Structure 1
Amino acid sequence: MGFVFYDVETTGTDRNFDQILQFAAIHTDHDLNELDRFEMRCRLLPHVVPSPKALTVTRMTIDRILDPSLPTHYEMACSIVERLTAWSPAIFVGWNSLEFDEHMLRQALYQCLHPPYLTNTNGNCRTDLMKFCQALSALQPGTIVIPPGARGQESFRLDLVAPANGFDHRNAHDALGDVEATVYLCRLLRDCAADHWSEALRFSQKAAALSYIEEEPAFIITECYFGRPYQFALTKIGQDPANSSSVLAYDLEVDPDELRRLDDVSLVSRLARKIKPVRRVRANASPIMHDVVAFSSFHGFSPDELLDRAEEIRSDEELCERLCRAAQREALEPSGHVEQLIYSGFWGDADKERMREFHARDWTGRAAVVETFEDLRLAELGRRLVFHHAPTALPARARSSIESDLARRMIGHGYAEPPWTTLAKADADAIALLSSCCAEEAAIVHAVRAHIAREMQRCLPFCERC
């Protein structure tokens, strides 16, 4: 199986409400020899307010992202699906991709009525090279150079790690440049830490990770928080009832007698404190796991001591059941915003067929298909797509309603705390940036402010009618 390395540049850092502006990917064979590459940019969505800071980082001007000759966001999403499907099955790899790029890609596909789970379905799986690099700094220190960041601590930012290890990263924060840097580092890490790389690839497949967690009485997992690697000795005690891809595991450094003495209320409280007795292992997020016997000593415990405690925990069914109950999380209230409903269940087979039909039609036909969706999320997103591309294909009342809703959304009118970037928020951010940016960045920011002023003028009348 080959690899697909990918990266996105976006209007901001919100994984639900910002959008991709540039997507790039490189397809390689299993030995990391390049087979093909793909890069595409698109226009700014009419209802998205870009972050001035994000545009200064990527050096994208407002004129560039409004260029009418660029493909629309929908057209770009369709091209991405076509290319990535042609390269599948593959292992999808990025730098911090599991926390950001993948979510942005999923949102783009979801909002454009494509199946969002492209990177982990139909034989595809994924891993995150930054996570692997962070874990390797604990498992095999000195493998590659990890440079200091602004505060003197180790930084795993791609634009710092790549040049520190010999890559000419003059195109940092360009999606294709970042993909090239990721491929370079992947080759380096594979050559310097072949065994660890092989294990990472093994657990890029959810089924392999779940099987390992189930079969191993105890294992060591390496996870990273705030850029620092931490290691935990765990044993499985149950399944996360809220997520079939997540396992509940017991931290073997915690004395179980301490927990047995607690009542149920106190147990819930104890699970929230450090050291957390129960941890969630996301089997579908390429966990970095190793056998306990690979460590002659782990935080003062021998492998035999860890295995003995694991056996003690697993054989205590009552304690395991109490811990699993105490670890349950309260269900969140569903969001009122369609973007935040991406993980709120799967649509049925009939709607999957309607999605395929939607893409096969012209915009007039798509407007008709939208009205047949059973899933309300797809209907709302579909109407928005039609509105942006062929508004006259919609009934006048629907067209007027969408136009008004999106304008008020950009202003933030009627929302107590909008989770997206409003025009006023972007303008305030732009003003703050001007006090510290260079001349090139200032030109970008001033142009963004002019765009914001025009959009304010366009949107305010819709608020006055309410």
Structure 2
Amino acid sequence: MTNFIFYDTETTGKDQRDFIQVIQVASILTNNHLEQLNDMDLSCRPLPWTLVTAGALLTNKKYDTFNNPNTHYEMTREWFDVWSKWCAQEPATFVTYNGLFFDEEIIRRQFYWNLINPYITNTNGNARLDLLPKMYVLGKFYGDKFTIPQVNNKPSYRLELLATSLGMDTAKAHDALADCIFLLELQKLIKEIAPTFYQETISSCSKTNHKECLTKNMLHLNVTRFGNYYPFTALSSNTFDHHEIPIFNLNFNPQDYIHMSLGELESAIFNSKDSPIKWVKLGKTQSTVTYNSLKNDDVDLVLDDNYLIRAEQLKDNQNFVDKLFELRTAQEMPHYDNSSYEQQLYSGGFPSKATYDAFNKFHQVTTLDEKLRIINLLPEQRYKEFAWRICSQFMPGDVPQDFIQYCHNLIDQRFNKDGPWPDASKELSNAKELLNSVTDQAEKACVKEVIVNIEKNIK
């Protein structure tokens, strides 16, 4: 069994994820029994070219962030080193809350900007678990053991409200370390009240294990955040290499689809709102549970026998399954915006081993001359410019003048030019509106500092 690393981040904003910055990251390391072994709590000041939003700071209460002595590079290096040490002896499962949508994407960008391997959480045997989708299952089928909070007569899965339901002090909610503690207690709750579902969850975090869980169990339930659910079976093909697989909603009759031609299937499944098919990414946690886990946890749910018959019909028709994969393969690949280097994490391709070796040497050498020599050998301009930014952060008095001018130009671009980054004028207006509405003196001082920071950079 692997260890767990519960982690959370606090950032300078919530939109334009390619350009927002982590200003606090915290983690808790536990063994597989959820006994705490270590923790980490790091923070830094904003980068000069990062636009900090007042709303973000009022939420995470990082009022003194502009005066933090640590640079973003220093924080990120230490953060990566801690995680690397924690995973050195055995792999870990990285646990987040809505993290695969937000935190995971944000941390990859922080590492990428700082010439660090962005994929530590899902390589070298490590895996990822997002507890939020699994809470939908808990809320639907284990509601007699734990009541999900309600807001406006609808279930609310906000971590802070769930922690309150557990009787925890939430005065420090939205602090990264406090949220890690909430997350750990939530996982303990799932382990206690839904033991079979818990074992299914923690044993299917990697792509390989997730695929095995989906394909070897005949019947599953997919649950929405509002408590709706449907039975499905997962389909797999040995002919196609895939990072996602189709699940078939068993409320539909497979006989209506199995004998369709490719063209008919494309219209009925890929171009229809009433499609029985949903494609599931194996690298992401899904709001699903096997029917067997529910039965073993004594959940009172009986499925129609026809669902099993339909699942068997689908599993026995590999030609139909291969058609689905053939159509999926023919679809367009996702498009990534990449006009700025920050946006090229995926579209720019993966660094080679030689490039990673150069990154490591860059981090290890201590003199500016040594770093400059390595920068000149980097194979791509985006990496060279990231290195210029790093050197300018902690060697501002020593770097070449063109590095300083480059950073000034970057600040000017991010605060005065239109682009995919946050809109400085809009955020300045938002901050001034907030200043008129907040009454707490610490909050007022924080918003004023945000306003000053934006105004000094706007021309």
Identify unmatched segments of 5+ residues in structure 1.
461-466
Task: Return the offset for 1:96.
Answer: 1.6
1:355 aligned partner: 359
1:389 aligned partner: 394
Equivalent residues in 2 for 1:333-372 (5 A)?
Answer: 335-344=338-347, 345-362=349-366, 364=368, 365-372=370-377
> Any conservation in 1 of the 2:411–2:457 contact (CA below 8 Å)?
no
Aligned residue identity for 2:282: A
Equivalent residues in 2 for 1:150-161 (5 A)?
Answer: 151-161=152-162
Residues 135-144 or 287-296, more deviating? 287-296
1:247 aligned partner: 245
> Any conservation in 1 of the 2:10–2:25 contact (CA below 8 Å)?
yes
- Over residues 341-382 of structure 1, what are the superposed CA-to-partner deviations in whole Å (9 max), with x where a residue is unaligned? 112321111101001101101251223212211244322322
| CA distance in structure 2 between the partners assigned to 1:199 and 1:342 by the alignment | 32
Identify which of 304, 310, 317 aligns with 2:308: 304
Identify which of 107, 113, 116 aligns with 1:114: 116
> Any conservation in 2 of the 1:200–1:287 contact (CA below 8 Å)?
no
> Any conservation in 2 of the 1:21–1:42 contact (CA below 8 Å)?
yes
Give SS of 1:26's match.
Answer: strand
Q: CA 1:445/1:44 → structure 2, altered by over 3 Å: closer, same or farther?
A: same
> Any conservation in 1 of the 2:262–2:323 contact (CA below 8 Å)?
no
> Any conservation in 2 of the 1:24–1:175 contact (CA below 8 Å)?
yes
Q: CA 1:110/1:322 → structure 2, altered by over 3 Å: closer, same or farther?
A: closer
| CA distance in structure 1 between the partners assigned to 2:132 and 2:232 by the alignment | 22
> Any conservation in 1 of the 2:23–2:45 contact (CA below 8 Å)?
yes
- Over residues 319-349 of structure 1, what are the superposed CA-to-partner deviations in whole Å (9 max), with x where a residue is unaligned? 43564356x2344265111222112321111
- Over residues 42-98 of structure 1, what are the superposed CA-to-partner deviations in whole Å (9 max), with x where a residue is unaligned? 11111001111111111222xx11215x21111001111111111112111122222
| CA distance in structure 2 between the partners assigned to 1:321 and 1:6 by the alignment | 35
Aligned residue identity for 1:77: T
2:213 aligned partner: 212
Residues 445-454 or 194-203, more deviating? 445-454
Aligned residue identity for 2:169: D
> Any conservation in 2 of the 1:271–1:277 contact (CA below 8 Å)?
no
> Any conservation in 2 of the 1:363–1:390 contact (CA below 8 Å)?
no
Q: CA 1:261/1:4 → structure 2, altered by over 3 Å: closer, same or farther?
A: closer
> Any conservation in 2 of the 1:233–1:306 contact (CA below 8 Å)?
no
| CA distance in structure 1 between the partners assigned to 2:118 and 2:277 by the alignment | 30
Equivalent residues in 2 for 1:177-256 (5 A)?
Answer: 177-216=178-217, 218-222=218-222, 224=224, 230-238=229-237, 244-256=242-254
2:67 aligned partner: 67
Calculate percent identity across the aligned residue pairs.
25
- Over residues 95-137 of structure 1, what are the superposed CA-to-partner deviations in whole Å (9 max), with x where a residue is unaligned? 2222222222211111111101111112211212222222211
Equivalent residues in 2 for 1:18-417 (5 A)?
Answer: 18-61=20-63, 64-67=64-67, 70-88=69-87, 89-149=91-151, 151-216=152-217, 218-222=218-222, 224=224, 230-238=229-237, 244-256=242-254, 258-259=256-257, 264=263, 267-268=266-267, 270-287=269-286, 289-292=288-291, 297-298=302-303, 302-311=306-315, 313-316=317-320, 319-320=323-324, 323-325=327-329, 328-332=331-335, 335-344=338-347, 345-362=349-366, 364=368, 365-391=370-396, 394-411=399-416, 413=417, 415=418
Aligned residues: 444
Residues 429-438 or 126-135, more deviating? 429-438
1:464 aligned partner: none
Task: Return the offset for 1:13.
Answer: 1.1
- Over residues 127-184 of structure 1, what are the superposed CA-to-partner deviations in whole Å (9 max), with x where a residue is unaligned? 12222222211232233221112x3311110111101121112111111111111112
Task: Return the offset for 1:39.
Answer: 0.6
Give SS of 1:110's match.
Answer: helix
> Any conservation in 1 of the 2:222–2:231 contact (CA below 8 Å)?
yes
> Any conservation in 1 of the 2:136–2:287 contact (CA below 8 Å)?
no
TM-score relative to the length of structure 2: 0.87
- Over residues 206-260 of structure 1, what are the superposed CA-to-partner deviations in whole Å (9 max), with x where a residue is unaligned? 22112334444x44253545x656445033155998x943223433333445445
TM-score relative to the length of structure 1: 0.86
Aligned residue identity for 2:314: A
Q: CA 1:45/1:333 → structure 2, altered by over 3 Å: closer, same or farther?
A: closer
> Any conservation in 2 of the 1:3–1:92 contact (CA below 8 Å)?
yes
